[in-house]
Chains A and B, each alone.
Chain A
């Protein structure tokens, strides 16, 4: 299989990387090593540790940072941006629809059972329309590239996508270590993200909120693997980082406990999952949530971001219908392609997949983090047969996709620069407007030949540049 190299076309350096190429070539090896050590020390010093959504793992682990940036030129980015915004609009339209009249189901464009029997479909919020009709306020869309103009969406993250602190810290550390690089290249900034996020949250305050909205970030607590990101964002946004016990319901509203007495809260950016939000509505044993929160939410006293139930839009089974959503709700052709997906609960798909396992990637419908998946071409015959048995036991639990030829970016390894596979997660903000900062989180598979970029599977991160005109 041949892979698209984002920096080199044969031996020729592609235009956006021209200056970087000089920078790399003139950099002495010992200087590079020194800088690499410095970067690591900086990350450790600020204490940034996190696990990408659902990956789990050691909470105090550092994710390897690669100093070689990934670069997009302006035109490339504009195309991606349009596609991402389009997709974000469609996903929110879908959520508004399935918690309302469900026209897409009535029209027979998506099977009813896929929606209503989905674990993430919350019947408790049927009929509740959140402010501005937005359910998912921060959408992380995972993209891979296979050719100059060919991008595919690998998955959508409509609940609480994490990793944005890495996007910001990667940039911060690059600017600190190599200010000269930024003077020479015209790189679009990303550090407005926290302000944009705060503005987005404020824009979806409930109608009952009269003054400037009070926003908070709700964290499961400092034992959570993404706690650093929660406190990092709260700090940059200038909002309180609260735990469930800091909030309480009184009458029609939610309040936080402060040293000056109760203070009303209008918008909650929650980083805890639906089942834990409110023991009176969901899991009665949840200690992380706020009793009565859902009643206040459902009667319009507080906004919750993302809205409870938003997860039904980012399921791997629903994923296959996103292009259909774009056509149905927006009357447009999708700008971003889905990866072809076989759903194993369909007989035809099942037969095809079982006959072609060595060429395919098979994933669990509800799995994430690169666990519980088979990468056919990278697996031994024994591994494939073992996985085949798992599929046979429960076909409905799996989808399959062709093995994609993920693009590569030059990455620093012991011997110097070498191509490694990458993906990209931009963060799309949806409130009164839909916007995203130019860039995102680039994850890189540091192991040679590996196509799995998850940090739990030996993945690292890179700064992602979008060049201005």
Chain B
């Protein structure tokens, strides 16, 4: 699939802020399922700082805005060619040992409810089957209901409530997978549309579980599927906050409001013949 991505996040402050520092994980992963054609990150009024590929294989870029300013706009625009790898993250160069993803965080900490849920997946033929069953269990236990949970909602809270969004599904799946001794992590990215073709909030999140023999495999319990060519993978972490595409902090008393616009659309072909590029 050839996808054009436009993603703009505008931070506005009621009072000017200075020394805004951001750490951006906003560049598509390099693996068999993705080939980045061109990709540009811009932060208004900012200076590009360090850029490097971290141990998880994510491209990280630091930006600083000295200010004072009342608005900072982060703009991503790019084109990428994707293909279906049945959720398997093949050809992704990373150094972190999967066992490092068995660690709990506040968002994914198990409680009695999650333990019960993890125990529901029985009779698994092999680890891959177990992963599928766990994902299905989470899809059943948490109904998709936007606006009922917040960024700080934990897996345990979402399960208790029985509803949530993709972040909650991913957290819950990560929690139950770790309970079953499967390393699991949070993935952030974009989604073109759901399987039924209906429009979707284009910023998306899902989980990856480490399966012996296959490596990391993506599961999207919010959509009851594995990521395919409609998904664009950006980066991963132990939970949503660890994997956040934008992490930032500014000096000043200003209260922040946020405006996000994401657009992922399919194109017939990429128009100009600029050389394809991948970051190394």
Q: Which residues of A contact B (CB under 8 A)?
A: 99-100, 102, 105, 112-113, 115-117, 119, 121, 123-128, 248-252, 279-281, 284, 291-292, 294-296, 298-299, 301
Contacts of A112 in B (CB 8 A): 97, 99
A299–B64 CB distance below 8 A: no
B103–A296 CB distance below 8 A: no
B95–A100 CB distance below 8 A: yes
A252–B50 CB distance below 8 A: yes
A280–B100 CB distance below 8 A: no
A301–B50 CB distance below 8 A: yes
B107 → chain A closest CB, angstroms: 12
A251–B21 CB distance below 8 A: no
A123-B55 contact given A117-B99, A250-B64, A280-B249, CB 8 Å threshold: yes
A interface footprint on B258-278 (CB within 8 Å = 1, 0 otherwise): 000000000000000000000
Q: Which of A102, A123, A124, A296 meets B49, CB within 8 Å?
A: A296
B58 → chain A closest CB, angstroms: 11
A32 → chain B closest CB, angstroms: 55
Contact residues of B between 44 and 61, Cβ < 8 Å to A: 47-52, 54-56, 60
A298–B247 CB distance below 8 A: no
Docked Cα-Cα span, A128 to B54, in Å, equals 8
A252-B49 contact given A124-B55, A292-B62, A295-B60, CB 8 Å threshold: yes
Q: Which residues of B contact A (CB under 8 A)?
A: 19, 21-23, 47-52, 54-56, 60, 62, 64, 66, 95-97, 99-100, 102-103, 238, 241, 247-249
Contacts of A100 in B (CB 8 A): 95
A126-B96 contact given A291-B249, A292-B62, A295-B60, CB 8 Å threshold: yes
A279–B62 CB distance below 8 A: no
A299–B51 CB distance below 8 A: yes
Contacts of A250 in B (CB 8 A): 19, 47, 49, 64, 66
Q: Which of B19, B96, B99, B247 meets A280, CB within 8 Å?
A: B247
A280–B21 CB distance below 8 A: yes
Q: Which of A121, A126, A127, A296 meets B50, CB within 8 Å?
A: A296
A279 → chain B closest CB, angstroms: 6
Residue of A100, A112, A123, A125 with most chain B CB atoms under a 10 A cut-off: A123
Contacts of B23 in A (CB 8 A): 280-281, 292, 294-295
Contacts of A280 in B (CB 8 A): 21-23, 247-249
The 10 closest A-B pairs by CB, nearest first: A126-B55, A299-B50, A116-B99, A292-B21, A295-B62, A127-B55, A291-B249, A291-B21, A116-B100, A299-B52
B128 → chain A closest CB, angstroms: 21
Contacts of A127 in B (CB 8 A): 54-55, 95
A52 → chain B closest CB, angstroms: 29
A117-B102 contact given A292-B21, A292-B23, CB 8 Å threshold: yes
Contacts of A294 in B (CB 8 A): 23
B97–A298 CB distance below 8 A: no
Contacts of A251 in B (CB 8 A): 47-49, 64
The residue in chain B whose Cβ has the minimal distance to the Cβ of A102 is: B97
Contacts of A295 in B (CB 8 A): 23, 49-50, 52, 60, 62
A249–B21 CB distance below 8 A: yes
Docked Cα-Cα span, A100 to B23, in Å, equals 23
26 A-B residue pairs with Cβ-Cβ distance under 8 Å, sorted by A, are: A113-B99, A113-B102, A123-B96, A126-B55, A127-B54, A127-B55, A127-B95, A248-B21, A249-B64, A250-B49, A251-B47, A251-B64, A280-B247, A281-B23, A284-B247, A291-B21, A291-B248, A291-B249, A292-B22, A292-B62, A296-B50, A296-B62, A298-B50, A298-B54, A299-B50, A299-B51
Q: Which of B49, B55, B99 meets A128, CB within 8 Å?
A: B55
The residue in chain B whose Cβ has the minimal distance to the Cβ of A290 is: B21
Contacts of A125 in B (CB 8 A): 55
Q: Which of B49, B100, B103, B238 meets A249, CB within 8 Å?
A: B49
Kindly list 15 other residue pairs between chains A and B, CB separation below 8 angstroms, not including A117-B100, A295-B52, A299-B50: A99-B55, A116-B97, A117-B99, A117-B102, A123-B96, A126-B54, A127-B54, A128-B55, A249-B21, A250-B49, A251-B47, A284-B241, A292-B22, A298-B52, A298-B60
B24 → chain A closest CB, angstroms: 9
A282 → chain B closest CB, angstroms: 10
A292–B55 CB distance below 8 A: no
The residue in chain A whose Cβ has the minimal distance to the Cβ of B52 is: A299
B177 → chain A closest CB, angstroms: 15
Docked Cα-Cα span, A282 to B54, in Å, equals 15
Contacts of A298 in B (CB 8 A): 50, 52, 54, 60
Docked Cα-Cα span, A250 to B238, in Å, equals 28
A303 → chain B closest CB, angstroms: 14
B184 → chain A closest CB, angstroms: 14
Contacts of B64 in A (CB 8 A): 249-251, 292
Docked Cα-Cα span, A248 to B249, in Å, equals 11
Q: Which of A126, A296, A299 meets B95, CB within 8 Å?
A: A126
B103–A248 CB distance below 8 A: no
Contacts of B99 in A (CB 8 A): 112-113, 115-117
Contacts of A292 in B (CB 8 A): 21-23, 49, 62, 64
B13 → chain A closest CB, angstroms: 16
Residue of A115, A119, A291 with most chain B CB atoms under a 10 A cut-off: A291
Contacts of A284 in B (CB 8 A): 241, 247
Contacts of B49 in A (CB 8 A): 249-252, 292, 295-296, 299
Docked Cα-Cα span, A250 to B99, in Å, equals 35
Docked Cα-Cα span, A291 to B103, in Å, equals 24
Contacts of B56 in A (CB 8 A): 123, 126
Docked Cα-Cα span, A281 to B52, in Å, equals 14
A125 → chain B closest CB, angstroms: 7
Docked Cα-Cα span, A401 to B241, in Å, equals 40
Docked Cα-Cα span, A280 to B60, in Å, equals 12
Docked Cα-Cα span, A15 to B39, in Å, equals 75
Docked Cα-Cα span, A337 to B19, in Å, equals 51
The residue in chain A whose Cβ has the minimal distance to the Cβ of B62 is: A295
A279–B100 CB distance below 8 A: no
Contacts of A123 in B (CB 8 A): 55-56, 96, 100, 238
The residue in chain B whose Cβ has the minimal distance to the Cβ of A292 is: B21
